Structure 1
Amino acid sequence: MGQVLGDILGFAAAVAVSPLPIIAMILVLATPRGRLNGLLFAAGWVVGLCVVGGVVLAIAGPEGASSGGRPATWVGCLKLALGSLLALFGARLWRRRPTDASEAKLPKWMATIDRLTPPKVFGLGLALAALNAKNAPLTIAAGASIAAAGLPAGQQIASLAVFVLIGTLGLLAPLGVFLVGGDRARSTLGGWKDRAARHNVAVMAVLFFVMGLKLLGDGIAVLTA
């Protein structure tokens, strides 16, 4: 299990530092029902990661993803495909990043966060975890790595839980600051949001590219073993 945790820690860390979900959390906390909405957003995020990872584990299973104690060939092909997708997307983002960080703009949908009902806030957290163009490939790759290790079901679940916990730390940081500091924390969180917004594209591009290269390396290692 230790080797599996080592394999998925990088994926989990990349999910955790994704700027857009962190910005969304800060905006959610700024709504009139910030405490409730923040908890619902985090809960939706956790459910989203669990659903994607759980589906991968259920489909793959240790028997289908592991052959003779080694990852099956399809696992290597999957990682190659995901790695290629992330690396190409990262390179594309880097070319399109704003030359002046102060010109960076947030997605238009973020302007509607203050009008979302609590159930929709939960759904937003779930969607950003399960359908996000970066998080979904990374979560799928983590699930495939766990399944390919041939671990018992209990250890698979524990490994996925570790992935989800680490992948949620980026959201728990602003949520924790808000729960402890309340309204006094708004200025601090506002500064975090501004910095994350300015560097969002560059950070995403680097994460995409680096994690894409890692997945390409993992896929090659599996196919040539």
Structure 2
Amino acid sequence: MATVIDGAGGGGTLSELYQNVRRVLLRTRDGMERLERLESSTAGGGLDSLELSDSIKRDISQIQSLCVEMDRLWRPIVAKPQRDLWKRKVEQVAEEAESLKECLDRYFSRNQKRMMEVKERAELLGRANGENAHVLRIFDDEAQAMQSARNSSRMLEESLQTGIAILSKYSEQRERLKKVQRKALDVLNTVGLSNSLLKLIERRHRVDIWIKYAGMAITLIIVISVWRWIR
């Protein structure tokens, strides 16, 4: 008997209203799924998303209106089991409508946030291309200065390594000269050369030592000069 109760506003029987609201619910859930797919796409849906969201919003409003009408119709039912059954059905529909409304509200919130982000990026780009473009130039100059400092540091390190290698070569040559000197002295002592020749060799050896130290000093001066020039 409850399913044939007429609505005062000409909305039909309770059963007809329930079937109608179920159809709208199915359509709304399907629309919400399509809206979320459009949101996940690269373009974001554009006008299609706007039209679909408006349609979903209207459907939810219709469901809520039907729930109000159904709530009015189930209350006069005399039989308690039937009245309780319709009460649960109406409450279930109302909960589904509220859940869909929350999903749509979250979508609008995300969409508004995206629009704000796009607007802020556009404003930042506009300022960067306009009155604040010099800030970008400052950052670029600083980046170039840092790169130049790294290059200078690398050149200095290479120069120091070269100087160390040169000094190492001088040290090896000195050891070889000492060995050669000892062998020459042994040979000269063996053949009995005169003391004057030995003294001449010793003087030449001292000259070679001074030449060696002078070369080392010049190398150090060159390395230090290069380092100061790079700084």
Place the TM-score, normalised by the shorter chain, in its bin: under 0.3
Which has the larger Rg? 2
TM-score (normalizing by structure 1)? 0.28
**Highest relative contact order (Cα 8 Å, sep 6+), 1 or 2?**
1
TM-score (normalizing by structure 2)? 0.27
